[in-house]
Each structure stands twice: as C-alpha cells, then as structure tokens.
Chain A
Amino acid sequence: QKEVEQNSGPLSVPEGAIASLNCTYSDRGSQSFFWYRQYSGKSPELIMFIYSNGDKEDGRFTAQLNKASQYVSLLIRDSQPSDSATYLCAVKPQGTLGRLYFGRGTQLTVWP
C-alpha cells in the first residue's frame, strides 16, 4: 500500500507570515508530487506540481522535494486570509497507470 501522510492540523498563521505544509510518502520510486487546495464545500484545485528532479516556485508558492527523507513541502509566503483552506498532497508512484495517492489534507487558517 502506498502511504501519503500529512499533519491534519489545523495550522494557524497570521497574515503576512510563511505557512509551511509537509507531506511524507512511502514509495521511494515516486515520480511526481502535487499540491491541491480545497476550500470548504468545493472541489480540489491544483496549485503546484513538481517532478522528482527539482523544486519549483510560482509566485508566493514554493514546492520542495527531499527525496532522501521522502517528504515534500509547500511554502506559502506572505500568507493571506484567502489562503485559508485544506491543502491536499498527492503522489504518483512509479508504475501506477497514472493514479495518484492522496493524503488526508492539512487545514490552514490565516488570521488577519
């Protein structure tokens, strides 16, 4: 069984701070990693994805991979109240016909 673990939180940060979300995965051969944001009552929305070859920055968001320790992190700089949501980590292991394995999500609250 492929495991993806996230701290359920909730994680609470003040506006303007850096929010750091982490995700660990069990399959060492995992190739790609995804972060989805899910507002309450809505469907998940893709915000970042990275492959096993490196980190990625997109605006206020940075996704980082530590292959040796098998974890991936999402940093949100200058956090805004609109970032308050549940963040889902998903991993695509090797040889899984494109299916993803999801963590349970981390609930983030950014207070003004």
Chain B
Amino acid sequence: DGGITQSPKYLFRKEGQNVTLSCEQNLNHDAMYWYRQDPGQGLRLIYYSQIVNDFQKGDIAEGYSVSREKKESFPLTVTSAQKNPTAFYLCASKDGDQPQHFGDGTRLSIL
C-alpha cells in the first residue's frame, strides 16, 4: 500500500544523545516536511524539502538536522543541542499543488 511510514512509534532519548526519526514514503512525492507538536499546540515546521539533496529550515530548526539523499526518505535527527525535545513529531509529504498528508507520527520522550 502507498503511504508515509514513520518509525519508531515511540522513542526515548538519554541526556546528551542524538536520535534519528525515520520518515519513508512510497508515493513518489517530491516535497516532504517535518513538524513538531506540543500538547495543546498547533504544528510548528522544523525542516522541509522540495527536491532531493535540498532542504530549508522552518521556524524551529535549531537543535535538529535533516538529510534528503533519496526521494522517498527524509530522516530527522534530534541532536543533544535540542534541550526540550519531548514532543509528537510528524512527517508529511505532498505532490505538486496537492495537500500535505501525514504519517502516524513518533512520540519522543526524555529518559
């Protein structure tokens, strides 16, 4: 089935550790996005990519990094520089002018 797969569903980070969240899509979409959602809040854009090997910072990129080496993959690394990483992370993708659709998300917590 075509879709957007995020893994893992739950992730725990120790102090000083970098962790990587996976986002894979088999929809042949060019554009991919990473959002962060905190309780009672809307979605805030971390990074986005319109094409392979290119990406732009969103509104809250500090403490995060991404890569876009393949069209279907857009992993997000939460670095130790991100001091408050506990949140619900959502990956989305879209084709042309069509709407964005989301994966099921990853919940990241601090140990």
Chain B CB within 8 A of A97 CB? yes
A99-B32 Cα distance, complex, nearest whole Å: 10
Known: A42-B104, A49-B99. A97 touches B42 (CB 8 A): no
Question: How far apart sit A105 and B41, CA to CA, in the bound complex (Å)?
Answer: 7
> For the complex, what is the distance from the CA of A45 to the CA of B92, rounded to whole Å?
11
Within 8 Å by CB of B103, from A4, A43, A104, lies A43
Whether A97 and B48, one on each chain, are in contact in the complex, defined by CB atoms closer than 8 angstroms, is yes
Contact-residue size bin, chain A (C-beta under 8 Å from the other chain): 20 to 34
One digit per residue, 1 when the CB lies within 8 angstroms of any chain A CB and 0 when it does not, for chain B 19-56 equals 00000000000010101000011111100101000001
* B-facing residues in A7-25 (Cβ within 8 Å): 8
Is the CB of A108 closer than 8 A to any CB of chain B? no
Contact A43 B43 (CB under 8 A): no
For residue B18, CB closer than 8 A to chain A, the reply is no
Min Cβ gap A48→B in Å is: 9
Residues of A contacting B100 in the complex (Cβ-Cβ under 8 angstroms): 34, 46, 90, 100
With A102-B43, A104-B42 already in contact, the answer to whether A97 and B50 are too (CB < 8 A) is yes
> Is A65's CB within 8 Å of the partner chain B?
no
Given contacts A43-B103, A43-B104, A46-B101, contact A103 B33 (CB under 8 A): no
Mark A residues whose CB is within 8 Å of B.
4, 8, 32, 34, 42-46, 49, 88, 90, 97-100, 102-105
B residues near A, CB below 8 A? 31, 33, 35, 40-45, 48, 50, 56, 58, 90, 94, 97, 99-105
